[in-house]
Every structure is written in structure tokens, then in C-alpha cells.
Amino acid sequence: MNKFPRPVRELVSMFERLPGIGPKTAIRLTFYLFQTPPHFVQDFARAMVEMKQKLKTCSICYNIDETDPCRICRDNQRDKSVICVVEKPLDILAIEETGSFKGVYHVLGGVINPLLHIGPDDLFIAPLLERVKKSTPSIKEVIIATDPTMEGEATALYLKKALGKIKPDLKISRIGHGLPMGADLDYADPGTLAEALKGRRSY
């Protein structure tokens, strides 16, 4: 890396911080940007800055959008009595592409992971419980759609117990068939996700 000029080293270092980007890919991206016209780099930088400035976190479901509440929470055509709980906003995009879910969402912001020192208090679990407790009209079903990983399953079990305590008659279901153990929702194809939603089971 020392053989590169300082601006190149700095940009390569920034790219390497992104998920899935290794040193070689970071170098290729850096030199690609160097070879593009200045207006492309300016547009690229402006798009990133605008994203940070204009995107908001929805105060209801913790999705991201240009408005708060987000467009899904504001949509009166959605079934507000059914909440699908996901780990991250990308999961909402994946489920929406299936066209098979007409309820609303709640983003946890991750999963319980003791190895990374992430507990229930570090996630948006308390707002979910409060939302279920106070929602009008009443919440009839919560679909737990965390990824089918060890951490996702542990989080789902925690949610099941917590939701059951505050509302014993609540229908709690777990996303069903079609997703292999260890899969990420945002990488699944729409058909697989649609089947998983249809095949959800009581939890």
C-alpha cells in the first residue's frame, strides 16, 4: 500500500471498511473512480451525502425513508393489525418485492448476539412491545421474520416469550418453509420469500 500516493491509500482504506470489500476490490474501485470523468465522481459523492442528509428513521417501525413516518406506516391500505418483524431495512425491501405481504413492519436493528455484546436493550425490542401493547386497532398477529441463523432463532424465541407476556392471546408466527438454515432474508429471491411468508407457522 505504501507504493500508492496518499489519496489512493486513503480511498482504498475507506472502501475496505465496507462489508464484502477486500483489499483487491478496494484498489480496483479506487482506480476505476480515478479513471472516470470528474462529473461522475462529483455525482457519486453528492449522492452519498444526500443519502445521509435526507434519509430518516421511521419513529414507528424504524425503517428508513425520506419521511417520518415512512410511506408504509402512512399507507392506509396496509393491514395495521399484522406486524412483520425483521432484522434490518433491507429485509423489508426483499419482502416487499414478493408482493405477498400487506401488513406493516418493525425493524429490530439486528439480532441478539452475546458474542458481540448485543443484548435485547441494544435493539428496538422495547418499542415493538410498546407498539403491540398500545396499538389501535389492536395487533392481531406478529410474524417473526428474523434470519434462520442461530442468532436469529434466539432472537425469535426471546420475542415470542416477551410478546406472550404482554398479550397472551396474540397470534405469533415464524416465517416458514423455503429458507435454509443460515440464510439472509435480503439475499433470498422473491419466490422463496413469498413461500416462506405463506408457510409461516404458529410460534
The correct answer on CATH 3.40.1360.10 for the domain covering 77-202 is yes
Helix 6-16 × helix 23-35 angle, to 10°: 130
β-strands 56-57, 64-65 pairing: antiparallel
Please give the pLDDT value at position 4: 87
- Segments of the chain assigned to CATH 3.40.1360.10: 77-202
Please give the pLDDT value at position 149: 86
Please give the pLDDT value at position 195: 65
Regions in the chain scoring below 50 on pLDDT? none
CATH number given to 6-45: 1.10.8.420
Please give the pLDDT value at position 199: 65
Contacts of 101 (CB under 8 A, 6+ apart): 84, 95, 197
How far apart CA 72 and CA 146 sit, in angstroms, is: 19
